[in-house]
Amino acid sequence: MEIATRHFGRIDVDGADLFVFPAGLIGLEELRRWVLLSEPRRAAAWMQSVDRPEVALAVINPRLFWPQCRLRVARQELAVLGLRDLRQIEVLAIVARHERGLTADLKAPLVFDLRNRLGCQVICNGEEPLRMPLDIAPPAVRRSA
């Protein structure tokens, strides 16, 4: 199917590219079908909504920015995925732009089940910040600079 996106023009989305979030995102419950698009030359990607093509969220892999990052999530948060094998998951954090710059939401990351191509937004039960400042390059980039 073809969708007219806000940032990337018209893109063709194959059913096999979709990630389905059965519960949507928090506050965006009706947005269930998404496709991940890599951002060329940036340590980020885009969660492009298929249901509402004008919506695209920037996401990062928090482990790239904070290698020590450990997110604590209650198992029932992952129930929608029916996960048995936690090696099959990818965790990404949503990036937001605020007046002081970019932040990553480590309180409510996105969990992807790569095998079944399902996803959900979870709420961590530790002290993870909702707005972790993101004004740093990932360590891999700093080393090569």
Binding site for another protein (CB under 8 A): 7-9, 11, 17, 25-28, 35-46, 48, 55-61, 64, 74-77, 79-80, 90, 92, 94-98, 101-102, 105, 107-108, 121, 123, 130-131, 134-135, 137-138, 140-141, 145
> Position of tokens 């948060």?
77
- ∠ at Cα 119 (55, 37), nearest 5°? 45
**How far apart (Å, rounded) are the C-alpha atoms in residues 96 and 35?**
18
Of 45 and 89, nearer to another protein (C-beta) is 45
Of 89 and 102, nearer to another protein (C-beta) is 102
**How far apart (Å, rounded) are the C-alpha atoms in residues 6 and 53?**
7
Helix H segments across 2-124? Answer: 62-65
Q: Supply the minimum distance, in Å, between the C-beta of residue 131 and another protein.
A: 7
The contacts of residue 120 (CB under 8 Å, 6+ apart) are: 21, 22, 23, 77, 78, 80, 81, 110, 111
Of 9 and 15, nearer to another protein (C-beta) is 9
DSSP summary character for residue 42? S
Of 68 and 76, nearer to another protein (C-beta) is 76
